[in-house]
C-alpha cells in the first residue's frame, strides 16, 4: 500500500504485488510534476570544524545531521527525501547504522540503497551518505 504525502512532497510506493521492503525504505518514490529537486553530495561524519571522530556511531550521526542541515538550508525536511545511498566500510556497523538512521528518519521511507565498500577516500571515514530530495 502506498503512503501518500500531501502537497508537493513525494509519494512513497510499495505495491502489494511486490514483497514488502525489508527495511525502512520504499520500493519507489513518485515526485510531483514541477517539484524542485535537490541532489545532496556524499556526506561524511566530519564535524563542522572538519575533524573526524573515530567512533562509527558518531560519524553516522554527524553525516545524517549534515544531510538534514542541507535539506533545511533548501527549505526542505526529511519528508522530502526521495532516495538515499549509504556506504559503510564494515559489515559489523550495520546494526548501529540502522539505529542511527531510525533516530533521524524513522517516519519517512525514501527509496534506499545500502552498500558495503572496502574503503572510502579517506581511511578515517567509516560512513558516507548521499541523497535526493524533492518538493518544498
**Predicted local distance difference test score (pLDDT) of residue 2:** 38
In a domain, 2, yes or no: no
**55-69, pLDDT tens digit by residue?**
999 999 999 999 999
In a domain, 4, yes or no: no
Number of domains forming the structure of the chain = 1
Q: Say which CATH number the domain at 103 has.
A: 3.30.1330.40
Name the residue range of residue 31's domain: 11-134
In a domain, 34, yes or no: yes
Mean pLDDT of the chain: 91
pTM for the whole thing?
0.86
Q: How far is CA 100 from CA 13, 30, 96, 105, 114, in A?
A: 24, 26, 6, 9, 14
**20-50, pLDDT tens digit by residue?**
988 888 999 889 888 899 999 999 999 999 9
Write the DSSP symbol of residue 108.
-
In a domain, 5, yes or no: no
Amino acid at each position: 500500500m502506498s503512503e501518500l504525502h500531501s502537497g508537493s512532497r513525494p509519494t512513497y510506493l510499495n505495491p502489494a504485488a511486490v514483497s514488502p521492503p525489508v527495511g525502512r525504505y520504499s520500493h519507489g518514490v513518485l515526485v510531483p510534476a514541477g517539484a524542485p529537486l535537490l541532489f545532496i553530495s556524499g556526506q561524511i561524519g566530519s564535524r563542522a570544524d572538519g575533524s573526524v571522530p573515530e567512533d562509527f556511531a558518531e560519524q553516522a550521526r554527524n553525516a545524517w545531521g549534515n544531510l538534514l542541515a542541507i535539506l533545511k538550508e533548501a527549505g526542505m525536511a526529511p519528508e522530502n527525501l526521495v532516495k538515499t545511498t549509504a556506504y559503510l566500510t564494515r559489515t559489523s556497523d550495520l546494526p548501529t547504522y540502522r539505529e542511527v538512521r531510525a533516530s533521524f528518519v524513522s517516519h519517512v521511507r525514501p527509496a534506499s540503497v545500502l552498500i558495503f565498500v572496502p574503503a572510502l577516500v579517506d581511511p578515517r571515514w567509516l560512513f558516507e551518505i548521499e541523497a535526493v530530495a524533492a518538493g518544498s
